Chains A and B, each alone.
Chain A
Amino acid sequence: MPEQRTAEERTDPVEELGTFLRRSREQIAQRWADAALFRTVFTVSRDEAVEAGRAVVEALAAVAAAGRLEDAEADGFAVVREQLARTAHSRARTGATLAQISAEMDALRPPVNDLLLDELSEAPAQHLRECTTALTVLMGTLRLVMMETAMSAGQELINRQRLELLEIATPVIKLWEGIVAVPLIGTLDSARSQVVMETLLDAVVEQHARIAILDITGVPTVDSLVAQHLMKTVAAARLMGAECIVSGIRPAIAQTIVHLGIDLSSVLTRASLADALAYALQQQGAHIVPAPAGEPE
């Protein structure tokens, strides 16, 4: 490296990158606004895209100034994380895959690189190389942050949907005065069994139901854990003063239950929901009788 260069002319490459980014933020933001990542998110106003780009460049400048090029947790990123999450989220919503978003992130680097090369055209090759390397590292970290936010946004969505599904999948139906039923459809796991139990018992209180029917016609398999949950639900209902009937145990499931050696003898069972309802009505003192002949059906 030429010794005659003075310190203030050629400083540390990372620091120099920070200064460059801050100085060129307007130009970079303008170029980014035309890049796919920003263009497809901010479809209505180009000014907004420029604004967003400016915020990201400033964040990068701050990270470079702090010398934390490889640190995804750097303070500078915290400022733009929300911005990035919004961008990633809206790209994902329009059907872009993570690979696509990643490619679009890559496309942000060349324009900055070009500007950097123009700016440093006079600089020695060694310094130039160091500066472009620093830029590559910084953009790599930005991409990491972006991917991270995109994925955590996805995870949040999945978690929320899982919870919503649990609620939706557990409807309580009032069949008659004092009789409620929960028809279960789909696989029962431990978490869902818990929700079913709580929902059913809450309904018993709210509807003042002396009889609760758990219909498992739509449940494909019953393992010992699920059977245990069913028994717990029945036992808890009894403690509250209600009777819980399990209906719709298909022959295949009955076989599995026997095979697993599960003792369901403490549980009142009926073959179908209709049988369970007939039993429940009878318990309530109501009887179903066929209409006399001649009367309209």
Chain B
Amino acid sequence: MTHSTGDVSACLPIHSDLDLVRVRQHVRQMTARLGFGLVEQTKLVTAASELARNALVHGGGGQMECTAVTSGGVRGLRLVFSDQGPGIVDLDQAMSDGYTSGEGLGMGLGGARRLVHDFSVDTRRGSGTTVTVTSWISRPPGPREAP
């Protein structure tokens, strides 16, 4: 059972290079504030960067919704990336490593999935793609990682 804590949620546009930077910075700040360890912060920020770029490059732009959530007393951060692009034709192929339809190393979707705890894609041809990812705080941050 996942509850949205509701008090910390934001919606960021993804329409340019600058927006990618903003997405990364926002996710970094949120994960730091929620108490994610440094490695977990970096993983989620990197996943956000991949997915935001996907939305920008393949979906023609979109948005990211960022919500703090709790489940069974564990806190986490949920990111929802959505675009109104052409959708992903072959999802299995898109998820496999090395597949790329543009710039990059072809690690976008498959790579992002390995960086988060929960991952789901909803795509329909012609009506866009929504990718939802969630990561949970697995352990308290070490002394070095405290914000």
Contacts and interface: CB of A to CB of B under 8 A. Distances in A.
| A and B in contact, CB less than 8 Å | yes
B39 A163 contact: no
A191 to B, nearest CB: 7
B96 interface: no
Interface string A191-204: 10010001000100
Nearest to A199: B142
Contacts of A166: 139
A148 to B, nearest CB: 14
A202 B144 contact: yes
Contacts of B139: 163, 166, 191
Interface in B38-93: 39
Contacts of B142: 198
B39 A198 contact: yes
A163 B144 contact: no
Contacts of B144: 202
B134 to A, nearest CB: 18
Interface in B1-54: 39
B122 to A, nearest CB: 28
Contacts of A198: 39, 142
**Residue among B138, B140, B142, B144 facing the most chain A CB atoms (10 A cut-off):** B142
B138 A163 contact: no
A166 B140 CA distance: 12
Contacts of A194: 39, 138
A212 to B, nearest CB: 17
Nearest to B39: A198
A194 B38 CA distance: 13
Interface in B89-147: 138-140, 142, 144
7 contacts: A163-B140, A191-B138, A191-B139, A194-B39, A198-B39, A198-B142, A202-B144
Given A163-B140, A166-B139, 8 more contacts: A163-B139, A191-B138, A191-B139, A194-B39, A194-B138, A198-B39, A198-B142, A202-B144
The 6 closest A-B pairs by CB, nearest first: A198-B39, A163-B139, A202-B144, A163-B140, A191-B138, A191-B139
